[in-house]
Amino acid sequence: MKEQLVKDLPELADKYIQLCLNHTKEVATGSGKIVELRERHIPTISFFLNIWMPDNYTDTISRTAYYDWLRGDQGEEKQKLIHSIDEKFKALAIDIVANEQKGIFYAKNKLGMTDKQQTEASLTVQGLPIQINTNVPPLADNDVV
């Protein structure tokens, strides 16, 4: 069964990506009418393996096996396969985060993105160099006088 799963995994990952791309949600308008809006989902390995795969296929692999394959612990063929799937999931996640301002927590923790700006300044006082920390958070609207 696992050999067939390895063969089917790229197609299954693509089907899951299509589900993420085509997801919609119902939203009430100001007039009270219910409409469906497109709302792409960020693909996650955990959901794919633990929920989507068992519901849509007769078999799955554990998350541990997925990462073992990604590291190459089970051979180069499985490593390339999982790496390709992982790259597709990341590409879609990055696009959703960048274009829809969603998934900031996911972007920071899983994609290594940051919203922190690093700036440095220096100044000389009485001939001594001094470093100034300019990483100060912006004022909130209610802090402005």
The answer to whether residue 83 sits within a structural domain is: yes
The answer to whether residue 69 sits within a structural domain is: yes
CATH of the domain at 52: 1.10.132
Low-confidence ranges of the chain (pLDDT < 50): 144-145
pLDDT at 9: 92
Is the distance from CB of 34 to CB of 26 less than 8 angstroms? yes
The answer to whether residue 115 sits within a structural domain is: no
pLDDT at 55: 92
The answer to whether residue 52 sits within a structural domain is: yes
Residues 6+ apart with CB under 8 A from 6: 77, 78, 81
Query: Which of 67, 75, 56, 63 lies closest to 3, judged by CA?
Result: 75
pLDDT at 145: 45
The answer to whether residue 79 sits within a structural domain is: yes
The answer to whether residue 106 sits within a structural domain is: yes
39: containing domain: 2-110
pLDDT at 25: 87
pLDDT at 86: 92
Go through the chain and tell me how many residues it has: 145
- Tell me how many domains the chain contains: 1
pLDDT at 48: 93
Query: Which of 45, 13, 40, 20 lies closest to 99, judged by CA?
Result: 40
9-34 pLDDT, tens per residue?
999 999 999 999 999 888 898 898 99
The answer to whether residue 134 sits within a structural domain is: no
pLDDT at 107: 64
pTM over 0.75, yes/no: no
